[in-house]
Amino acid sequence: MTVLVDAATRVVVQGITGHQGTVHARAMREFGTHVVAGVTPGKGGSEVEGVPVFDSVREAVGKAGANASCLFVPAPFAKDALLEAVDAGIRLCVLVTEHIPFHDMLVMYHYARAKGTRIIGPNCPGIAAPGASKVGIIPNVVFRPGHVGVISRSGTLTYEIVNGIKEHGLGQSTCIGLGGDPIVGTSFVDALPLFERDPETELLVLVGEIGGTAEEEAAEMIAERFSKPVVAYIAGRSAPAGKRMGHAGAIISRGRGTAASKVAALEKAGARVARFPYEVSEIVAEISRQRARR
């Protein structure tokens, strides 16, 4: 069992005829993902990397059986593309696109929730379950199947930490890159119960960053109703107040969202918090050895 994606996931790539859509559709297929369709209005009837292209998501669902979407649609058109996917019956949308207007994401978030569709992103690397499926842009080479779950707000830190886990001889159950924008479709508290219920996940890595209160809210849930070991890392310890660091959501304001407050909350909840990214995989390996000796 994995989280949100599995061997039955059938992906439609919205924007497949663009450079990024083509490159990552190929990479997803190399990972083992069933990429069954692409969508670019006006280019229906063509093929990209052997994948049939349709004019609409409804066609991709009806003719190719797509049940998940990966969106490589430019920000000005992302809202319409996502709403189209939701209306076509897609229930998992990975929104890789960055620079989506704040108010567009508000509409997308609430519309998708009302229709029962889960959004991952925007501005995210996506989701991967090694040996099963990948929807997004996380590099294939960093993965191996295993029992460590990963939830992260940072794309590049996700790659580094997941690769470190692999280099320690361990593997991942599912990895979810949530995205770093102020409004995301799936938060830590949305993802934690999924990993709690997943029998393949024995240990969880949580990668956060400054800005907002998502990590503090996650810490409350971990303390109250998450039974598995948690290893965490918070990026941005040296960030000055009021300055955005990387992601649109990574900004400290009015004393809230600091790295110190997040670290304190997670440690109080019982998580092991690393000071540097490379320490995450070392702590994961240590906990895994201790569990193996029991």
- List of domains in the chain: 10-120 (3.40.50.720), 138-293 (3.40.50.261)
State the pTM of this model: 0.93
Mean pLDDT for the chain overall: 93
pLDDT for residue 244: 54
Instruction: Round to whole Å and give the CA distance between 245 and 111.
Output: 30
Mean pLDDT of 215-220: 96
Query: Is residue 38's pLDDT more than 70?
Result: yes
Mean pLDDT of 75-100: 97
Mean pLDDT of 4-25: 97
Q: What is the pLDDT of residues 234-285, one digit of tens each?
A: 997 766 665 555 554 445 545 557 888 999 999 999 999 999 999 999 999 9
The residues that are catalytic are 247
Q: What is the pLDDT of residues 221-232, one digit of tens each?
A: 999 999 999 999
pLDDT for residue 243: 56
Give the pLDDT band of residue 200 (cuts 50, 70, 90).
Answer: very high
| Lowest-confidence region among 87-101, 128-142, 209-223, 236-250 | 236-250
Mean pLDDT of 151-165: 94
Instruction: Round to whole Å and give the CA distance between 25 and 81.
Output: 17
| Lowest-confidence region among 48-52, 157-161, 236-240 | 236-240
pLDDT for residue 246: 53
